[in-house]
Amino acid sequence: MSEGKIKKVSLVCSKGSLEGIYPALIMANGARMEGIEASIFFTFFGLYAILKNYNDKIKIATVGNPAMRVPDAKGMALPTWMGALPGMSAFATKMMMKEMEALDIPPIPEFIEMIHDAGGKIYACKATVDMFHLNLEDFCPQMEKVLTVGEFYELSAGAEIIFT
């Protein structure tokens, strides 16, 4: 563990759900606002956050989510079987987006642009890009580069690596 002030963070985003992507975006944005160098390495389904035809369609994963709660119910848990009901993911996503909008938390494409414009680096995992048969044209313009894991580690030298 490093001593003193954090100077650099590298976040790894591997989950493609709303609650899987936003922690990386919030942490990277917060780092940049504090003057901390920040990069996000999107891999596996987290990669959908930087795919221009998908990043505005990300949903909450409701199936098997034991932490699913109704925001206005002060912590009332929903039974996990309810996540499988048709339309539940869309409903939960709409509710969460409403809450985030009230807090002025931007949608994913806008958040990616904000982080990039603030000097944050956005990277895609080469193994996932190859596995999903993707091309550079599939990505949002803020995606800096497709990296191997080794290149990610090299660029992350001296950083705190955080998995979200």
| Count of helix runs (H) and strand runs (E) in the chain | 5, 5
The label of the residue with tokens 């869309």 reads 90
Cβ-based neighbours of 79, under 8 Å, separated by 6 or more: none
Distance between CA atoms of 115 and 156, rounded to whole angstroms?
A: 17
63-84 pLDDT, tens per residue?
777 777 666 656 667 777 777 7
On the CB side of 164, how many CA atoms lie within 13 Å of its CA? 27
- Written as one letter, the residue type at 64 is G
Q: Give pLDDT, residue 51.
A: 98
Q: Give pLDDT, residue 88.
A: 81
Measured in degrees and rounded to the nearest 5, phi and psi for residue 9 equal: -125, 145
Sites in the chain below the pLDDT cut of 70 = 1-3, 69-76
Cβ atoms of 159 and 8 closer than 8 Å: yes
Q: Which fold has domain 8-163?
A: Hypothetical Protein Ychn; Chain: A, (3.40.1260)
Q: Give pLDDT, residue 22.
A: 96
Q: Give pLDDT, residue 145.
A: 97
